[in-house]
Structure 1
């Protein structure tokens, strides 16, 4: 099994509106095939392929004290020379 290396990580509270604005901006950058992520002195530039895999996951986790934590995970994956799988659509 391969070793996973974290190149960039961020976790911060945002309003729903701020998250929507960030995701729209990310979508615009996906169209250009280049995404730059910055936080303080940390920066990573991603050159994205034309085809990638979109993985969506919705989870509920019982955190006991705080109750049920809900999550919606959106993950983009690709290999060098990869081609995409079947389509998914938004409802």
Structure 2
């Protein structure tokens, strides 16, 4: 059975421009292969391999007369995944 452990989580209101700036900075860190997430005294460093799975999901949730939308961007990889494409030496 799979076990899930949340290593870091934050949720806070931001303007659309602030979100776009954050995503641009995140993209730069992804290119480097290392992302450090910080909030207060909480911090986690992630090493991202060269090949990952990108999942994009748009949702609509209707509860009573209220509708909530979300756009989720998820980047997945498995521990031990290779750091690049297979090559012959």
- TM-score normalised according to structure 1 size: 0.85
> What root-mean-square deviation, in Å, do the aligned CA atoms of Structure 1 and Structure 2 show?
1.4
Number of residue equivalences: 82
Runs of 4 or more above 6 Å deviation = none
Structure 1, unaligned runs of 5 or more: 84-91
Q: Tell me whether 1:55 sits opposite 2:55 in the alignment.
A: yes
Deviation readout 1:12-31 (Å, 9 max, x if unpaired): 00000000000000000000
**TM-score, length of structure 2 as denominator length:** 0.87
- Give distance in 2, aligned partners of 1:33 and 1:2: 26
Which structure 2 segments of 5+ residues have no match?
Answer: 84-89
